[in-house]
C-alpha cells in the first residue's frame, strides 16, 4: 500500500496510506449533496425575493465553483466531504499545501471533473501510484487517508482515573492536548501498521521534553505516559 509521510505540528513524521479512489468519490458525492442542498435553499429564497439576474447568477454559481478551494484552504486540506471520509490533501513531502497549491488543484478540477465529468480524474488516480489526479501532479499534492483517532483511544488505554493507581511519571501532567494528540497518532500507526518508528522517535522527544529517564519499550512508555496524564489531570 502506497503511503505518504506527514509531518505533524510536533515535527514528527506519521505515515498515512494514500486515500482510495472509492473514498475520494464518496467525499465528492457528499460535497455534491451539500451543494445541491444549497441550490435548493437558494431556489426557494429567490422565489420569495427579487434580485437582479446578475445577483441571482452569482448566488448560485460562486459557491459552486469556489466550494472546494475555499474549504480546503480554511479546513487545512479538507472539505466537509473529505472530513467525513477522513481524507486530506497534503504535499508529497508531508507538509500542508500552500494557497497556490490549492488553487492549482482547483484550476485543473474545472477541466478534470466538471468539463470531463470526472472521467479523466478517475483514470489518472487509478493509474497513478500515488493517488494523484492531474491537479495533484501539477500542485505536488496527494490525498491521504487519516487513521481514525478514536480507534486508538480504547477504554484500556484512555481510561479515566483509577482508584489507587500511582503514576509512574508525574511529569506527564505537563503535557497538553496537542502533545497527547501526537502520541495518539504514533500509537495508532504502531497498532494498525506495525510501524514502531514514530513511537520510538516520539518516546525520545517526550523523555527529553519532560526530563525522564526510563528503560520501558517505546510503545509501553507512551501508553504509560497517557495513563499517568489521565490519572494526574483527573485527580487534580
The mean per-residue pLDDT over the stretch 35-39 comes to: 95
Rounded Cα distance between 119 and 154, Å, is 41
Residue 212 pLDDT exceeds 90 = yes
Residue 151 pLDDT exceeds 80 = no
pLDDT category at 75 given cuts 50, 70, 90 is very high
For residues 86 and 143, is the Cβ–Cβ distance under 8 A?
Answer: no
Q: Is the pTM here over 0.85, yes or no? A: no
pLDDT in tens, 182-197: 888 888 888 777 888 8
Residue 99 pLDDT exceeds 90 = yes
In which element (H, E) is residue 133 found? none
pLDDT given at position 106: 94
pLDDT category at 150 given cuts 50, 70, 90 is very low
Half-sphere exposure of 24 (CA within 13 A, CB side): 21
Q: Compute and round to an integer the Cα radius of gyration of the chain.
A: 22
Percent of the chain having pLDDT more than 70?
88
Q: Which residue has the cell 499534492?
A: 141
Q: Which residue has the cell 486540506?
A: 77
- Give every CB contact of residue 26 below 8 A, 6+ residues apart in sequence: 81, 85
Rounded Cα distance between 199 and 187, Å, is 6
Residue 119's region, left for phi above 0, alpha for psi from -120 to 50, else beta, is: alpha
SS3 36: helix
pLDDT category at 177 given cuts 50, 70, 90 is confident
- Residue 72: name the closest of 92, 95, 110, 98 by CA: 98
Amino acid at each position: 500500500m502506497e503511503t505518504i509521510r506527514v509531518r505533524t505540528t510536533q515535527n514528527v513524521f506519521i505515515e498515512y496510506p494514500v486515500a482510495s479512489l472509492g473514498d475520494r468519490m464518496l467525499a465528492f458525492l457528499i460535497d455534491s449533496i451539500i451543494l445541491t442542498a444549497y441550490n435548493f435553499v437558494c431556489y426557494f429564497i429567490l422565489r420569495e425575493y427579487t434580485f437582479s439576474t446578475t445577483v441571482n447568477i452569482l448566488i448560485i454559481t460562486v459557491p459552486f465553483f469556489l466550494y472546494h478551494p475555499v474549504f480546503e484552504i480554511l479546513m487545512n486540506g479538507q472539505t466537509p466531504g473529505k472530513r467525513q471520509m477522513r481524507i486530506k490533501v497534503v504535499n508529497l513531502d508531508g507538509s500542508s499545501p500552500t494557497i497556490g497549491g490549492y488553487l492549482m488543484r482547483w484550476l485543473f478540477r474545472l477541466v478534470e471533473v466538471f468539463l470531463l465529468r470526472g472521467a479523466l480524474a478517475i483514470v489518472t488516480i487509478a493509474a497513478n501510484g500515488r493517488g494523484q489526479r492531474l491537479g495533484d501532479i501539477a500542485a505536488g499534492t496527494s490525498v491521504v487517508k487519516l487513521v481514525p483517532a478514536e480507534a486508538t483511544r480504547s477504554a484500556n488505554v484512555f481510561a479515566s482515573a483509577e482508584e489507587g493507581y500511582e503514576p509512574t511519571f508525574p511529569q506527564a501532567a505537563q503535557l497538553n492536548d496537542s502533545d497527547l494528540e501526537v502520541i495518539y497518532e504514533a500509537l495508532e500507526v504502531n497498532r494498525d501498521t506495525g510501524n514502531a518508528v514514530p513511537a520510538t522517535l516520539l518516546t525520545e522527544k517526550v523523555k527529553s521534553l519532560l526530563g525522564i529517564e526510563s528503560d520501558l519499550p517505546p510503545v509501553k512508555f507512551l501508553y504509560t505516559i497517557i495513563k499517568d496524564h489521565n490519572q494526574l489531570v483527573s485527580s487534580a
